[in-house]
Amino acid sequence: MSSGFINDPRVLHPDVKAGPNLPQQDGAQKPGSNGPTTENTDVYFWYFGKDVSTESATPAYSQSMLSVHANPPGVESVVNTIDGRASVASADYSTATGKYRGIVKLFLLYDGQVTGDATPEEATWAIATGFLVSADVVVTAGHCAFDYSRGLGRLIQAKAYVGYGTNSVAFSYGAAVATTDGWINKSGSEPADLSFIKLKRAFTAQEVSTYYNMKATPLSGRGVNLGVVGYPGDIVGQNGERGASLYEMFRRTDYDLAAADRKMLQYQIDTYGGNSGSPVFDSEKAVDVIGVHVLGGYSYNSASVFNGNYGNRCHAYFLVAQALTDDQNNPPGSSHPAGKPDWLWKCTKETTESDTDPVGAELDTVMNSAKTVVKAPATSIVDWAQPLTFGTEAGPRLSILSSAAIATAGRLAADSVSGANVESLSCTRPYDGILGRSILAECALQHFLSLSPEDQKPYREKMGNKVTALKPLYTRVGPRILRGTLEPSMRLLLSTIAGPPDSGSVRATRESLDAEKDTGFGRALTADEEAFMKGLIDTADRDAVESFWSTLTTIGDVIGSAFRKAGPVIADVAKIGLPLLLGSGTGTEAAGGGRPLPPPPPSALDPLGHRALLAEACLQTYVECIQTESATRRKSIFSKILDKVKVFGPIMMRASPYVAKYIAPVVADVLREVNGQNKAEFLDFTYGK
């Protein structure tokens, strides 16, 4: 089995030169890149003392190790109507090379269990699961290292067995344990529920040669064959022992860390107390572990994750755990943290993680796709294999149209549900604010893309989280909706050939910048939205006002309606409207709760959808972050966005005032198709709500 990044010497020792056929680490991650990141991580650890049991005999009394925040307390979850767990074949963990040989049965003893006259032999030890990442380091849950749920406190002894339940079991015992800052200082933060037990005796190659790779948890997945393998305590062996045998369950799973509770890996795989610390594999090959099972008791179970924006930096914990021998030979820089018990040590470890940040990687993928929209059309554009590119003039216009089309489709779906009255709604509901929102979003995106990587950096994390949360719905819904925009798209493309509109063809309108007056009361704005809207309006100059004289609106209308009528419309319709167009409540599973929907095939329209998604995420990020900029910087951002609004706003307001009418037939057809499927409750996204 591969030991992957945990045992890669280029990762464990960043100063070691890579071999001739291996890429070298290149230091800190550059903004916008997918390279390594160098950071400091606080690692907390303690030793088990000199009186630990070295006997291989199992404790006389044991019970399941339960997660700290199980709901209800003390309950882990068999979440399916039919228990899907299966006993692991003996051959998979009875020999040194078996694929599950590196999974460890743990017996754990805590400080709170040996008070008074009680001895370790008389105590009831907890059972749990772990997995080997080297011959002498076991990864398990953080609540296996320190117990908050019953007030048992710190772990003081650990017995570790590989091949437990077979005739070739091998034994070792713990010397120390390392865990996370979040688990120690936040009273058991669930995303930080992770620990590394250092064994006093390393397992030999004859006993086990299967060590697992802790792979950076992908930010999202569709139809991933996730599996949890461990020793569940609700299954009783022939001799009456709980958790006596190894069990596994794999299930095709869709997940999205950005949208998940606590940003953890969620799955409907059956587990029970005793599974705490089990590896979560991403395939039945059982090579890569992408999470540690830590939490149950809900309609789903959860794992803590590795690396990236939401995960634990596992290299640091492994390096510290591997170095633990006794308190006379601590890792360099170790000290007793102030205000903590004298048995607790802290070490700050700098590591260079070799795996990419999944949020940043997802953002870069979408950004690269979105940039193709404005590339010059190729001479071979009629070739069906050639990506669709539209140039710097038509590309942004089509992106604005795409954004408005998708958002309008979502609102029409949410307001109609059945599809019976979509066409009438498209004529009566105030969807015009969506077009203004799409214009501002594209203009904000153009400003963002003009920044240097260093200047983009403060916005990337927020922007990346928004992109990754919404991308699954865009990917599935976008191409189908965009096919309904043929006529307005053709008009926009022809307008780039025909030249600017005749200013005399439309009468001049009022010059008001008063967005309150022009848009009515509308939705209540957040403080950030109010400040951003006011900043744009106050920055608008005479040229910005006059640029809209050839339209039936004003720049004040466009800005005001973008916030008061539309708001963060994509985030709203993603909850109900877009999933309805997929015929399900989540957008990731087939109607009726069946198997996960397969990933959609690539579409030539994907870049337009990606650009629309990226633009809205960019606008939301600017709204949330603009007040952290200096007054001079804010004015510069507003001015540059308005420069783009002057270019694209008037033509878009003239060419596409009736987006909802073009989209309505497409939405009606889709809703009629799914009307026979299970209906989800819907929210009424009416004006002013």
Tokens 């003996």 identify what position? 90
Looking at the predicted structure, is the pLDDT value of residue 468 above 70?
A: yes
| Span 7-13, average pLDDT | 32
Q: Is residue 98 classed as helix, strand or coil in its secondary structure?
A: coil
- pLDDT at position 176 is 96
| Alpha carbons within 13 A on the beta-carbon side of 599 | 13
Interval 517-557: pLDDT, tens = 344 456 788 899 999 999 999 999 888 888 887 777 788 88
Q: Are 1 and 132 in contact (CB under 8 A)?
A: no
548 burial type by CB count under 10 A (0-12 exposed, 13-18 middle, 19+ buried): buried
Q: Which two tokens stand for residue 644?
A: 């783009």
Q: Does 558 have pLDDT greater than 90? A: no
State the pLDDT at residue 479: 72
Residues 6+ apart with CB under 8 A from 158: 48, 106, 107, 108, 109, 138, 173, 174, 177, 197
Quick check: 197 and 140 in contact, CB under 8 A?
yes
Q: How far is 141 from 279, CA to CA, in rounded Å?
A: 10
Q: How many CA atoms lie within 13 A of 310 on its CB side?
A: 27
Residue corresponding to tokens 């002013």: 688
* Residue 152: half-sphere exposure toward Cβ, Cα within 13 Å: 23
Proportion of the chain in helix, strand, coil states, percent, rounded to 5: 40, 20, 45
Tokens of residue 377, six digits:
């059309």
The residue with tokens 């087939």 is: 590
Say what the pLDDT of residue 544 is: 84
| Token pair recorded at residue 74 | 């003390």
**For residue 195, which of 149, 150, 145 has the smallest C-alpha distance?**
145
The vertex-133 CA angle with 128 and 139, nearest 5°, equals 30
* Other residues' Cβ atoms within 10 Å of the Cβ of residue 589: 17
CB atoms closer than 10 angstroms to residue 39: 14
**For residue 662, which of 404, 478, 477 has the smallest C-alpha distance?**
404
Whole-model pTM over 0.75: no
| Mean pLDDT of the region 479-505 | 64
In this structure, are residues 577 and 413 in contact, taking their beta carbons and an 8 Å threshold? yes
Cα–Cα distance measured from residue 15 to residue 9, given in angstroms and rounded to the nearest whole number: 9
Query: If you count them, how many residues does the chain have?
Result: 689
* pLDDT band at residue 211 using 50, 70 and 90 as cut-offs: very high
> Cβ(571)–Cβ(471) under 8 Å?
no
* d(C-alpha 370, C-alpha 611), whole Å: 4
CA distance 145 to 481: 51
Mean pLDDT of the chain, nearest integer:
76
The whole-angstrom separation of Cα 564 and Cα 572 is 14
Question: What's the pLDDT band for 660 if we cut at 50, 70, 90?
Answer: low
List C-alpha distances in Å: 79 to 124, 149, 296, 400, 689: 27, 22, 9, 44, 37
Q: What percent of the chain has pLDDT over 90?
A: 33
Beta-carbon count within 10 A of 484 CB: 19
Could you report the per-residue pLDDT of 261-301, keeping only the tens digit for each? 788 999 988 656 678 999 999 998 888 999 999 987 666 78
Which neighbouring-strand residues pair with 252? 225
**How much is the average pLDDT of 356-361?**
66
For 168, the token pair is 């070739």
Residue 590's pLDDT is: 40
Of residues 197 and 399, the one with the higher pLDDT is: 197
Residue 44 burial (C-beta neighbours within 10 Å; 0-12, 13-18, 19+): buried
Q: How far is residue 495's CA from residue 653's CA, in Å, rounded to a whole number?
A: 13
Burial 242-280 (b: 16+ CB within 10 A, else e): bbbbbbbbbbebbbbbbbbebbbbbbbbbbbbbbbbbbb
Residue 497, pLDDT score: 60
Measured on CA atoms in the order 526, 528, 533, 534, is the torsion positive or negative? positive
* Number of Cβ atoms within 10 Å of the Cβ of 30: 13
More confident residue, 474 or 34: 474
Q: Which two tokens stand for residue 575?
A: 């909850």
Given its phi and psi angles, is residue 434 left (phi above 0), alpha (psi -120 to 50 degrees) or beta?
alpha
The more confident residue out of 5 and 336 is: 336
Q: What percent of the chain has pLDDT over 70?
A: 67
Cis peptide before 601 (omega within 30 of 0): no
Q: What is the pLDDT of residues 471-484, one digit of tens each?
A: 776 777 777 777 66
Instruction: Provide mean pLDDT across the span 569-593.
Output: 50
Return the pLDDT at 93. 95
- Confidence class of residue 78 from pLDDT cuts 50, 70 and 90? very low
What tens digit of pLDDT does each residue of 315-355 get? 899 999 999 988 778 999 999 999 999 999 999 998 876 54
Does pLDDT of 620 surpass 70? Answer: yes
pLDDT at residue number 172 = 95
At residue 267, the 3 state secondary structure works out as strand
Query: Model confidence over 131-155: pLDDT tens digits?
Result: 999 999 999 999 999 999 888 899 9
Cα-Cα-Cα-Cα torsion 533, 501, 541, 564, nearest 10 degrees, comes to -10
Segment among 403-412, 571-580, 645-654 with least mean pLDDT: 571-580
Among 1-15, 165-179, 298-312, 528-542, the range scoring the smallest mean pLDDT is: 1-15
Task: Tell me if 475 sits within 8 A of 606, measured CB to CB.
Answer: yes
